[in-house]
Chains A and B, each alone.
Chain A
Amino acid sequence: MTEMLKQYFKLSNILVTVAILVLFAAVNIGIETGFIDDYYKLNLFLICINIILAVSLNIINGMTGQFSIGHAGFMAIGAYGSAIMTLKLGYPFAVGILVGAVAAALCGILVGLPTLRLKGDYLAIATLGFGEIIRVVILNIDYVGGAAGLNGISQYTDWPWIFSLTVITVLVIKNFMTSTHGRACISIRENEIAAETMGIDITRYKVIAFTMGAFFAGVAGALHAHYFYTIQPTTFGFLKSFDILVYVVLGGLGSMTGSVIAATGLTILSAYLQDYAELRMVIYSLLLIVVMLVRPQGLLGTAELSFDGIRRFFSRQTGKGRGAGNDSAVG
């Protein structure tokens, strides 16, 4: 018992908790006093939404090694599901988020089950197809506004909501990754046949990965819908899916911190390049190609950035074999 308590109240854990609270309070004060103006707030929120999307896709693509490129479809389900609950049926925001996320998760199962027979590129193209089907179906439902989308959604998403959900998402997925189930998923990525021989129920874990990924994409969709006032089917096309995929791959498949850093960096980059209309996408695409050519495994590979890793790096000056913060315990 004391051993367990000791683990819970380890220095790094306390530091983390304090850091989370400080960050939350600091930004909250910044927003309240207007030091962080609406433009920065919007980008900060976008970063949080993109982080949730990236780490949730990372469960499927990075941890389990399944190639999904239809993530925007799940996001759309979450966005529409939650907006219907709050806008059309008048439920509170929390119910909206939950319903959106659960609806997305159900879709995840729906997509996951039949496509699990497929591998690699075939799965990729099938998920892309599913994403497009979701979009086309939404486009043709008049109840949700068709092409015009849903308008006049109340702006419920505020800093406490988005921050706590981002932290919860990242922590849940982190912990899932290091749990028995997470390790089972990783073993599927490393070698599916070997994993099966070792008695891992591959289908079950693939479905779990899809469902979890879809669930959190749904959360992101709900947050998105309730910050931007309006949602339209075109927002959730395959270009959005590609965006999310790029965060994950650029950060390093299987690296949570990598996804977080890439989602953050690219969102800021996109905001910066706003002034250069046409040049923006050219720069963005060039950057993508160059990063992939120089570091095909992504910025962090499968490694994670952590306090412990950094501490180890500094305490062990001869750490040549491992780069800064490489925590080989994962992946």
Chain B
Amino acid sequence: MKWKKGIAAVVSLLFSASLLTACSGGGDKKTSANPAPADAWVIGGNFELSGGQATFGKAAVNGAQLVFDEVNAKGGINGKQIKFVALDNKSEATESTNVASKLINQEKAVAILGCTTSGDTLGMVQLAMDKKIPVLSTSATNPKVTVDEKTNKTNDYIFRACFIDPFQGTVMANFSLNNLNKKTAAVLTDNQAPYAKGLAQFYKEAFTKKGGQIVADEGYVTGDQDFKAILTKIRATNPDVLYVPGYYEEVGKIVKQARELGMNIPVMGGDGWDSPKLVEIAGAGALNNTFFSNHYSSEDKDPIVQDFVKKYKEKYNEVPDSMAVLGYDGALILVDALKRAGEPNAEKIKEALAATKDVQTVTGKISYDEFHNPIKAAAIIEMKDGKQTFKDKVQP
């Protein structure tokens, strides 16, 4: 009698199994309709197309698509077209694993581009390592992405198109001490973003090591609207500068509300600030006396940059932000490696990626160090009346 109810469980399990086979049947049909992997290079895209970071993912896909379209228009690589399959990971790490698995197993991708955030990229790192499929993240700046935490060894198959958090944090700490001549700083971190926490940590380390003092260390979470309470608390400690390594949406509100509270000190941050939306949210006036480190500036007069901005504007009718430019750069680096690999073989692509040297991208000439991090300069941008202007360029 006791076992009787178990029947139901088994029926259901059988049911699920049959559903699953039905599912796999459908899947097979679908893949057979696509060109066989031998006819094209299948590049997977694992991006945030919905959810909290949807704007990042979309911009990066737009940027990457531009490269692949160009390559295909010129006849592809070794006569083979590139098929770019970008799927949605809902801005979730678990879903990112799922998407990567689908790209590798179903779409037979030979390499994966993405994700834009460190958290989501970390979701597929281990899977890609196990499956031996190279991953090139467009903008995961957390050092942990390419280096195994426990063994401190480089993750063979993981690469990125951006510089890393320690560099960005240190650059801004030096900038506040040396260029702005400020001695005390308050840090306000997006505690839900590993990216922001990384930046904050390295900023604080560099700042205190060189004689500065951190007078306030506060946090918020992504999606917060009201920062006046935290800012009032920070205001009471009288800092010389405020460092806010977060994403533009919250940063815009923070700068706006800080100015409303009469805090006119310099506010600084990282590449998460780079979006035309920042000015819209905070207002041009409030953003005076703010600085951030970035991968590039759309105002840069460099012809390579301007050429890219023009192309991007033509196709998508908007100014590319740093996510878009890194999507573009990531695709450029990948295409360069594909050309050198010569055939759609994950192992060879990985070798080629690791050997990347002096590839001309919009954000500079890219070469990888031993940890698969590109060695490139950071731009420090000052906001003046709502316009991004070059303040400084810092070499590593």
Contacts and interface: CB of A to CB of B under 8 A. Distances in A.
- In the complex they form, do A and B come into direct contact, defined as C-beta atoms under 8 angstroms apart? yes
Interface of A: 7-8, 10, 12-13, 15-17, 19-20, 23, 26-27, 36-40, 42-44, 46-47, 51, 139-140, 146-149, 151-152, 155, 166-167, 170-171, 174-175, 177-178, 224, 228-235, 256-257, 260-261, 264-265, 268, 271-272, 274-275, 277-278, 280-281, 304-308, 330
Residue of B1, B93, B101, B127 with highest tally of chain A CB at under 10 A: B93
Nearest to B150: A152
25 contacts: A7-B2, A8-B2, A13-B7, A15-B7, A37-B105, A39-B104, A39-B106, A139-B191, A147-B119, A151-B144, A152-B149, A175-B5, A224-B94, A229-B126, A230-B125, A232-B93, A235-B93, A235-B94, A256-B8, A256-B9, A264-B16, A265-B19, A268-B23, A280-B50, A280-B88
Contact of A23 (B17, B92, B102): B17
A174 B93 contact: no
B1 A42 contact: no
Contacts of B3: 8, 10, 12-13, 16-17, 171
Contacts of B118: 148
Contact of A38 (B5, B99, B104, B125): B104
Interface of B: 1-17, 19-20, 23-24, 26-27, 49-50, 87-88, 92-94, 97-99, 101-102, 104-106, 118-119, 122-123, 125-127, 130-131, 142, 144, 148-150, 191-194, 197, 221
B2 A175 contact: yes
Given A148-B197, A177-B5, A228-B97, A155 B126 contact: yes
Nearest to A263: B16
B4 A275 contact: no
B5 A274 contact: no
Nearest to B123: A230
Contact of A306 (B7, B20, B106, B123): B7
A167 B131 CA distance: 29
Contacts of A39: 101-102, 104-106
B9 A170 contact: yes
Contacts of A44: 20
4 closest Cβ pairs, A-B complex: A148-B194, A229-B126, A260-B12, A174-B5
Contacts of A51: 12, 16
A147 B3 CA distance: 44
Contacts of A229: 97, 123, 125-127
Residue of B10, B24, B99, B150 with highest tally of chain A CB at under 10 A: B10
A210 B10 CA distance: 25
B5 A278 contact: no
B194 A13 contact: no
The secondary structure that dominates the A interface is helix
A148 B19 contact: no
A42 B7 contact: no
Nearest to A7: B1
Given A16-B9, A268-B19, 19 more contacts: A16-B7, A26-B17, A37-B106, A38-B105, A39-B104, A39-B105, A139-B192, A148-B119, A148-B194, A155-B130, A167-B9, A171-B9, A230-B123, A232-B93, A234-B192, A260-B13, A264-B19, A274-B87, A275-B87
A15 B3 CA distance: 11
Nearest to B219: A140
Residue of B11, B15, B50, B148 with highest tally of chain A CB at under 10 A: B11
A73 B136 CA distance: 33
Given A12-B7, A272-B23, A228 B12 contact: no
B50 A278 contact: yes
Contacts of B191: 139-140, 146-147
B7 A152 contact: no
Given A155-B126, A264-B19, A304-B8, A148 B142 contact: yes
A42 B98 contact: yes
A23 B7 CA distance: 13
Given A148-B197, A229-B97, A234-B192, A40 B7 contact: no
Contacts of A304: 5, 8
A272 B19 CA distance: 12
Contacts of B131: 38
A13 B4 contact: yes
